[in-house]
């Protein structure tokens, strides 16, 4: 365990130093951190509860649009208000949507998450007077405790703090009896029920945890980019990216989704700048991982480490 701590510390130091390398790497790493949290949150459902959500953009979008709509319609520019508001919204959305979804499992659950995310996507798209339609919303002039936050670096550190806090909190949640119970439900719903566990209650809990963290990431994303649109934050492709990142990094590992998010984000930026066919590459990566590295990067590494012992 000791040696892992050193690795974590090194990563933390590197992340802290990223802004000294320039604006673009900072921007890219900021995105990777946000997607890392989103993928981690997705994996609360996928890896820990055994539910594949293809609609987590719903929460990402709920967080992002809370920020956008409050700024657009109410001129609220204080991040210390916007952020809790986003948490509240994504919590409410997760509860409402969760009530419909958690009665279902497997493919039914997956299809429902898609359909419900599509509902919100359609609303954001069509309710132009409120949401700005597909032009989306521009977000600017935001303040944190009276101080204007504008530069990429400032947002980056905001994201970084949030990133570490999320990892810590999610780690605690997943190591708690609640987290253990989720894994039990994942492995045998039947057994868990006869251990006296209310399956729907725990599934709903898992859904809410996933939703709230994804929603927070979405809120930061809106602030960070200064621009949101339905396709970007609510589309099926956004949900799918969270899944792809999680699988790429490894859904059997706690850190896997973060690793996947980093690899995916950097690769996407690199490939799309060098080659126009990013989609093809993304598709081949997903197919390749499924066929050849189903445990993902971290899952594979952990498996090898375990074998060596």
Q: Pick from 32, 192, 212, 217: which binds other proteins (CB under 8 A)?
A: 192
**Does the footprint of other proteins cover residue 282 (CB under 8 A)?**
yes
**Does the footprint of other proteins cover residue 102 (CB under 8 A)?**
no
**Does the footprint of other proteins cover residue 110 (CB under 8 A)?**
yes
Question: Interface residues for other proteins in 193-232 (CB under 8 A)?
Answer: 193-199, 201-202, 205, 209
Q: Pick from 183, 267, 269, 271: which binds other proteins (CB under 8 A)?
A: 183
Residue 18 Cα distances to 25, 204, 271, angstroms? 7, 37, 21
Q: 3-class DSSP state for residue 293?
A: coil
**Does the footprint of other proteins cover residue 291 (CB under 8 A)?**
yes
Residues 222, 170: Cα–Cα separation, whole Å = 22
Q: At a CB cut-off of 8 Å and minimum separation 6, what does 163 contact?
A: 15, 33, 34, 36, 37
The nearer residue to other proteins, 142 or 181, going by C-beta atoms, is 181
Q: Pick from 9, 14, 172, 270: which binds other proteins (CB under 8 A)?
A: 172
Count Cβ atoms below 10 Å from residue 207 Cβ, excluding itself. 26
**Does the footprint of other proteins cover residue 161 (CB under 8 A)?**
no
Segment lying near other proteins (by CB under 8 A), choices 10-18, 120-128, 147-155, 257-265: 120-128
Q: Pick from 31, 33, 112, 158: which binds other proteins (CB under 8 A)?
A: 112
**Does the footprint of other proteins cover residue 187 (CB under 8 A)?**
yes
Residues 95, 106: Cα–Cα separation, whole Å = 19
**Does the footprint of other proteins cover residue 270 (CB under 8 A)?**
no
DSSP-assigned letters across all residues of 147-176: EEE-SHHHHHHHHHHHHHHHHHHHHHHHHS
**Does the footprint of other proteins cover residue 177 (CB under 8 A)?**
yes
The nearer residue to other proteins, 27 or 65, going by C-beta atoms, is 65
Q: How far is the CB of 145 from other proteins (least distance, A)?
A: 27
Q: How far is the CB of 250 from other proteins (least distance, A)?
A: 13
Residues 274, 279: Cα–Cα separation, whole Å = 13
Q: Torsion over CA of 48, 50, 54 and 59, rounded to 10 degrees?
A: -40
**Does the footprint of other proteins cover residue 181 (CB under 8 A)?**
yes
**Does the footprint of other proteins cover residue 272 (CB under 8 A)?**
no
Q: Which residues pair with 147 in a beta bridge?
A: 144
Q: Residue 186: name the closest of 171, 197, 172, 170 by CA.
A: 197
Q: Pick from 78, 81, 92, 119: which binds other proteins (CB under 8 A)?
A: 119
Size of the site for other proteins (CB under 8 A): 74
Q: Pick from 115, 150, 161, 165: which binds other proteins (CB under 8 A)?
A: 115
Residues 246, 233: Cα–Cα separation, whole Å = 18
Residues 261, 184: Cα–Cα separation, whole Å = 26
Question: Interface residues for other proteins in 230-249 (CB under 8 A)?
Answer: 235-237, 240, 243-244, 247
**Does the footprint of other proteins cover residue 95 (CB under 8 A)?**
no
Q: Residue 215: name the closest of 102, 57, 44, 49 by CA.
A: 57
């Amino acid at each position: 365990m000791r040696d892992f701590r050193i690795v974590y510390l090194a990563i933390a130091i590197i992340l802290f130093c990223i802004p000294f390398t320039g604006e673009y790497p900072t921007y890219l790493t900021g995105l990777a951190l946000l997607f890392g949290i989103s993928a981690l949150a997705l994996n609360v459902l996928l890896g820990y509860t055994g539910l594949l959500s293809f609609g987590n953009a719903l929460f990402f979008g709920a967080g992002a649009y809370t920020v956008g709509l409050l700024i657009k319609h109410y001129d609220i520019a204080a991040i210390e208000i916007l952020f809790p508001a986003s948490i509240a919204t994504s919590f409410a959305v997760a509860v409402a949507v969760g009530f419909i979804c958690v009665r279902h499992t497997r493919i039914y659950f997956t299809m429902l998450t898609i359909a419900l995310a599509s509902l919100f996507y359609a609303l954001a798209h069509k309710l132009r007077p409120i949401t700005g339609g597909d032009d989306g919303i521009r977000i600017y002039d935001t303040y944190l405790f009276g101080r204007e936050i504008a530069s990429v670096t400032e947002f980056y550190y905001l994201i970084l703090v949030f990133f570490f806090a999320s990892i810590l909190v999610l780690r605690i949640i997943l190591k708690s009896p609640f987290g253990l119970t989720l894994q039990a439900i994942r492995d045998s719903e039947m057994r868990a029920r006869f251990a006296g566990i209310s399956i729907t209650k725990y599934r709903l809990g898992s859904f809410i945890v996933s939703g709230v963290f994804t929603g927070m990431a979405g809120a930061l994303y809106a602030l960070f980019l200064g621009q949101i649109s339905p396709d970007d934050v609510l589309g099926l492709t956004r949900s799918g990216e969270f899944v792809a990142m999680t699988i790429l990094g490894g859904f059997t590992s706690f850190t896997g989704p973060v690793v996947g998010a980093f690899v995916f984000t950097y690769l996407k930026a690199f490939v799309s700048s060098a080659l126009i066919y990013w989609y093809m590459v993304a598709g081949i990566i997903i197919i390749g991982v499924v066929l050849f590295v189903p445990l993902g990067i971290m899952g594979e590494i952990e498996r090898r480490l375990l074998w060596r012992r």
